[in-house]
Structure 1
Amino acid sequence: MKRKFQIEGISCGGCVTRVKRALEEHPAVEKAQIFLQPKGATIISMKDELSVDELQEQLNKLEGYTITEIN
């Protein structure tokens, strides 16, 4: 299943790499696609549905990023 999110705090390619790696470390995340245009737009493919809180917990391993779902 794919869901769309917005990640605040993304400002460069290095951010994209760090955040992608952190999200994909979660066993339920198959793939994270993060874009610089529009900045922070994200599509996450999951094996099991994760809540925004669970994804934020994964991002909390890094500092300065917040995730919200886009409907």
Structure 2
Amino acid sequence: MKKKMMIEGMSCEHCVRHVKEALKEVSGVHSVEVNLGEKSAVVELDQEVSNDQLIAAVDEGGYEAVEIIEL
């Protein structure tokens, strides 16, 4: 399963790395691809992960997840 997250607050490659690391720490996340230009992240999951868990990981990093779409 994949989910695409729209994320506000990213402005540089440091932000991209920070978001990627935060999402990879969530149990069940297999891989993360962050796109600074689109202000998005595509998260590939090994198991069911709630949107709330993904949002919390991004929010704790100082960014704002504004939308999640299942792919």
After TM superposition, the score normalised by the length of structure 2 is: 0.83
Separation in 2, partners of 1:30, 1:60: 20
More strand per residue: 1 or 2?
2
Q: Which runs of 5+ in 1 are unaligned?
A: none
Identity %: 33
How many pairs are equivalent?
69
* Paired position in structure 2 for 1:49: 48
C-alpha root-mean-square deviation of aligned residues, in Å? 1.5
Q: Which runs of 5+ in 2 are unaligned?
A: none
After TM superposition, the score normalised by the length of structure 1 is: 0.83
* Alpha-carbon displacement from aligned partner over 1:6-36 (angstroms, at most 9, x marks no partner): 1111111000000100100112111110102
* Paired position in structure 2 for 1:66: 64
Separation in 2, partners of 1:5, 1:62: 14
